[in-house]
């Protein structure tokens, strides 16, 4: 496989992309890691339910889990409302009632991407920087859909690896930059 493609599953790609987007939107690295982990978990739950892998919880379980948890608030990242809490270490997304540990998310990304982590992170950062923050906040998940690895959409694709093509992300960033330059020449914003 070339330097421009990595064989990896979508969950790792979504986690890294959500981290980069959250950082671009102003969250520090550790806050962004926890938000990304929560986004990936929420996305997996939705897909798992759609595919019949996870069954919805009975209403009684949902009510028990929705009990009062202190000062919980929500942050929207990639179209997902992530439950969060402020801790002594900063904002942390929650997994059930517990704050997510950023070190565990970083280790997960290091394990999945190995030597390619920094190269992929840099490519994602370049893509994120090609958008104004407000525009990125609105389009981040749609961008992910355009560059994520291709895997079967049914249950056989659950956890499957596909090619993450860095050139695709670069083309999205370059296309955005090209259209911005054209707008500037025409007097647009």
As a whole number, mean pLDDT of residues 39-55 equals 60
All residues at 6 or more sequence positions from 26 whose CB lies less than 8 Å from its CB, including other chains: 133
| Structure-block tokens of residue 39 | 């986004």
Highest mean pLDDT, choosing among 77-86, 119-128, 131-140, 175-184: 119-128
Confidence of residue 152 (pLDDT cuts 50, 70, 90): low
Q: Mean of the pLDDT values across residues 127-134?
A: 93
Residue 66 — very low, low, confident or very high, per pLDDT cuts 50/70/90?
very low
pLDDT of residue 171: 95
pLDDT exceeds cutoff 60 at 64: no
Instruction: Say yes or no to pLDDT of 24 above 90.
Output: yes
Q: Is 60 exceeded by the pLDDT of residue 48?
A: no
The residue ranking higher by pLDDT, 184 or 162, is 162
* Arithmetic mean of pLDDT over the chain: 80
Residues 6 or more apart from 32 whose CB is under 8 A from it? 18, 19, 20, 21, 22, 23
């Amino acid at each position: 496989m070339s330097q421009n493609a990595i064989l990896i599953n979508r969950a790792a790609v979504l986690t890294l992309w959500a981290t980069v987007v959250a950082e671009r939107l102003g969250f520090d690295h550790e806050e962004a890691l926890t938000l990304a982990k929560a986004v990936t978990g929420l996305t997996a739950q939705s897909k798992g339910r759609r595919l019949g892998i996870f069954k919805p919880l009975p209403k009684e379980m949902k009510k028990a889990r929705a009990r009062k948890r202190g000062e919980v608030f929500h942050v929207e990242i990639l179209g997902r409302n992530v439950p969060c809490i402020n801790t002594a270490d900063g904002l942390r997304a929650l997994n059930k009632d517990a704050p997510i540990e950023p070190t565990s998310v970083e280790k997960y990304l290091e394990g999945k991407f190995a030597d390619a982590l920094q190269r992929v992170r840099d490519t994602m950062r370049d893509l994120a920087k090609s958008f104004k923050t407000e525009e990125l906040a609105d389009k981040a998940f749609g961008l992910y859909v355009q560059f994520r690895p291709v895997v079967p959409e049914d249950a056989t694709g659950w956890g499957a690896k596909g090619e993450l093509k860095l050139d695709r992300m670069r083309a999205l960033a370059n296309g955005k930059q090209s259209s911005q330059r054209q707008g500037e020449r025409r007097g647009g914003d």
